[in-house]
Amino acid sequence: MEQGRNKAVEYQKIKLYASAFHLFLILSLLAVAVFSPLSSFFKQFVVSVTNSYYLGIALFFFLFSIYIYIFAFPFSIFFSYLLEKKYNLSEQSFGGWFFEGVKKSVLSFLLSLFLVEIFYLVVHTFEKDWWWIAWVGWLAFSILLGRLAPILIFPLFYKFKPLDNEVLRLRLLNLVKSGGLALDNVYMFNMSKTTKKANAAFCGMGKTRRVILSDNLLENFTEDEVEMVVAHEMGHCRLNHLWKRVGWGTVTTLAVFFLLFHLSNIWVSFRGGESIGDVVFLPFLFLLISLFGIISSPLENAFSRKHEYEADAFAIKTIPRKDVFQSLMEKLAELNLANPNPHPLIEFLLYDHPSISHRIKRVQTLK
């Protein structure tokens, strides 16, 4: 047991340093694009190729994305592949990992390109009011993506099928029904093709909402523990955590777009440009968004941890088995190599879930 904890602490320590380096790397690459002639070079190339405003935006964004990808890719090999292999968490060959990464990168690029094009359309059309119109569009896109992701995006990476354990399936459906939620089925997915870690979730919104369980979870945990996991996820739904996060995001993104509008105008004026609609300023916008994300993440994480505690309490109220909850948490920590007792400052700044020890302790104090 002690050896396993030491391994988890070591793994999480390396991940912490790697995450800090990755953040520094991305910020450095963005800063280089902003403060060096690189963006101007990209724009000059775009202008030499096409006179189309929106085609030029797409080409500029492609060049910018390739620039980030090339310099970040060696780090991705270490962080996403070699580290997971070293600690016996990955089930992928290098070829499989690379192919999955390419799929994710292409999908991310296409979705981001769509948003960038819409953003510049709004900026070009509503020069003085673009910030709040873009904010409304971002909220609409986020909600739409939340509804469609389970049926359009997730199946691109994993195979989903109805849970084949009929007894457990009915048990979980009855649990969900007793909690006042209407679901047609429980799904399992082949998470084991990429990792030995386990996970479960309620995903989707409205008619696309569903319970998904990883095959690793079903293989390594008892039915009582799986039921506790689903009760926890059901707590997120019953306590309206998703919509509270949407509300929180509504306020924070409004502030972000407002600041983007004013700071970008200052930067454009300082650099002698005409408008933020000039694509050469796109890296500056990405740098601002990244900095806003860093500043707001501790508060975001605190908000998320509060919801996790509430969902734990809901699960114990629904299934009053603290012994099952504790065994579930301890198994998750062991399987996912989670540090059960991270430094309080690290947990406050970086953890969107409470540490395992804090979750167990909090549940044990509940009446």
DSSP 144-202: HHHHHIIIIIGGGTS-EEE-S-HHHHHHHHHHHHHTT---S-EEEE-GGGTBS---EEE
Whether the per-residue pLDDT at 35 is higher than 90: the answer is: yes
Whether the per-residue pLDDT at 43 is higher than 80: the answer is: yes
Q: What pLDDT, on a 0 to 100 scale, did the predictor assign at position 208? A: 76
Whether the per-residue pLDDT at 1 is higher than 60: the answer is: no
Q: Which residues of 328-348 are buried (b: 16+ CB within 10 A; e: fewer)?
A: bbbbbbbbbbbbbebeeeebe
Phi/psi at 80 (5° precision): -95, -20
Using DSSP's 3-state secondary structure scheme, residue 213 falls into: strand
The DSSP annotation for 1-32 comes to -HHHHHHHHHHHHHHHHHHHHHHHHHHHHHHH
Whether the per-residue pLDDT at 355 is higher than 70: the answer is: yes
Query: What is the percent of the chain with per-residue pLDDT over 70, rounded to a whole number?
Result: 99
Domain that holds residue 228: 1-367
Q: What average pLDDT does the segment 30-34 reach?
A: 98
Model pLDDT for residues 175-209, shown as the tens digit of each residue? 999 888 878 788 999 999 999 999 998 887 777 78
Distance CA 139, CA 233 (A): 24
pLDDT grade for 60, boundaries at 50, 70 and 90: very high
Distance CA 255, CA 10 (A): 38
Q: What average pLDDT does the segment 265-270 reach?
A: 94
Strand partners, 317: none
Number of domains in the chain: 1
Distance CA 118, CA 138 (A): 10
Q: What's the gap between Cα 346 and its chain centre?
A: 19
Model pLDDT for residues 225-259, shown as the tens digit of each residue? 999 999 999 999 999 998 999 999 999 999 999 99
Alpha helices in 319-355 (DSSP H): 322-336, 344-350
Query: What is the percent of the chain with per-residue pLDDT over 90, rounded to a whole number?
Result: 86
Q: Comparing C-alpha atoms, which of 297, 287, 284, 335 is closest to residue 19?
A: 297
Using DSSP's 3-state secondary structure scheme, residue 288 falls into: helix
Q: What average pLDDT does the segment 300-321 reach?
A: 96
For the chain, the average pLDDT equals 93
Q: Comparing C-alpha atoms, which of 225, 209, 187, 199 is closest to residue 321?
A: 225
pLDDT grade for 331, boundaries at 50, 70 and 90: very high
The sheet carrying 200-203 orders its strands as 160-162, 186-189, 210-214, 200-203
pLDDT grade for 4, boundaries at 50, 70 and 90: low
Whether the per-residue pLDDT at 318 is higher than 70: the answer is: yes
Whether the per-residue pLDDT at 3 is higher than 80: the answer is: no
Token digits of residue 149: 């992701």
Q: What pLDDT, on a 0 to 100 scale, did the predictor assign at position 182? A: 79
Model pLDDT for residues 160-179, shown as the tens digit of each residue? 999 999 999 999 999 999 88
Q: Comparing C-alpha atoms, which of 240, 226, 215 is closest to residue 161?
A: 215
pLDDT grade for 150, boundaries at 50, 70 and 90: confident
The DSSP annotation for 222-261 comes to -HHHHHHHHHHHHHHHHTTHHHHHHHHHHHHHHHHHHHHH
Distance CA 72, CA 29 (A): 9
Q: What average pLDDT does the segment 327-348 reach?
A: 94
Token digits of residue 290: 């990244």
**Angle (nearest 5°) at CA 248 between 247 and 250:** 65
Using DSSP's 3-state secondary structure scheme, residue 214 falls into: strand
Q: What average pLDDT does the segment 308-329 reach?
A: 97
Distance CA 145, CA 111 (A): 10
